[in-house]
Amino acid sequence: MNLVIIGPQGCGKGTQAKLLAEKFNLAHIEMGSSLREQAKEDTPLGKELDEIINKKKELAPDDVIVRVISEQVSRAPAEKGIILDGAPRTISQVEKVAVAFKDNDRKLDKVIFIKLSEAESIERISMRVGCSNCGKNMKIGKDVKGVNDRCPDCGGELNQRKDDTPEGVKKRLDIFNQETVPVVEYYRNQGILLEINGEQDVDGVFKDIASDLEKYE
Ligand SMILES: [Zn+2]
């Protein structure tokens, strides 16, 4: 079974991808870590990536992303399915992902879309803080009162990712709506979209996805 998982920030798709990879014996291809991993390799693509993401600190362009996807898909063990997490993000990547799968005798079976309202996405991301000392992730209003609190575990200072403010989240959601929602609609028209309510806890989301995928096993 070969899958793609898509969703706005805060929907928990990374967590779900890991759980699904375990349950359905899939290779989890996460784009962010795949890019960082391949940037360390002594290959033409690795050097090019290193130049873009580590030296120039820019976002990798579409054609480079697509080459990384092809490479990662070709490295996945043949006996395993794939769950692709973090791509395709744009309509122009859709066809190239299809080619990467086809070149490796794979077919995209299902696209999981974890749906989350804008308000919930902003709430989840802008309430997120981390401890600068032990790395613990916490939620404002639940684990701590605010970013000026101290870590309840180790007393370390808390910090928030610079762009994890409501404005920062809103900006990234606008990009998602413009570029990635058309990808979701494309897959809906292909009849392979599985839309999941992301406004549940991790277990609830996982149960909904797994109960659908079990039908295809
Ligand atoms: Zn701490």
133 CA distance to ligand 1 centroid (A)?
5
Which residues lie at CB < 5 A from ion ligand 1?
Answer: 131, 133-134, 136, 151, 153-154, 156
User: What pLDDT shows up at residue 161?
Assistant: 83
List, by residue number, the catalytic residues. 13, 89, 128, 161, 172
Q: Which domain covers residue 9, as residue numbers?
A: 2-116+172-216
Residue 143 located in a structural domain: no
Q: What is the pTM of this model?
A: 0.88
Q: What is the pLDDT of residues 3-27, one digit of tens each?
A: 999 999 999 999 999 999 999 999 9
Ligand 1 center–CA 140 separation, angstroms: 14
**176 CA from centroid of ligand 1 (Å):** 32
Ligand 1 centroid, distance to 193 Cα (angstroms): 40
* Domain-embedded: residue 105: yes
CB count within 10 Å of CB 20 equals 24
**84 beta partners:** 4, 29
163 occurs within a structural domain? no
Query: Is the residue at 20 inside a domain?
Result: yes
Residue 17 covered by a domain = yes
Q: How far apart are CA 168 and CA 161, in angstroms?
A: 10
Confidence of residue 50 (pLDDT cuts 50, 70, 90): very high
- Number of structural domains (the chain) is 1
69 in a domain, yes or no? yes
Residues 99-118 have a mean pLDDT of 95
Distance CA 91, CA 33 (A): 22
Q: From ligand 1's centre to the CA of 135, what distance in Å?
A: 6
Task: Find the CATH number of the domain harbouring 79.
Answer: 3.40.50.300
Task: Summarize the confidence of residues 154-182 as an average pLDDT.
Answer: 92
Q: What is the pLDDT of residues 141-160, one digit of tens each?
A: 989 999 999 999 999 999 98
Section 155-170 average pLDDT: 90
For the chain, the residue count is 217
Ligand 1 centroid–CA 130 distance in Å is 8
Residue 157 lies in a domain: no
Tokens standing for residue 168: 């920062």
Contact 87, 187 (CB under 8 A): no
Phi, psi of 132 (to 5 degrees): -75, -15
Is 195 a member of any domain? Answer: yes
Q: 12 C-alpha vs ligand 1 centroid, how far in Å?
A: 22
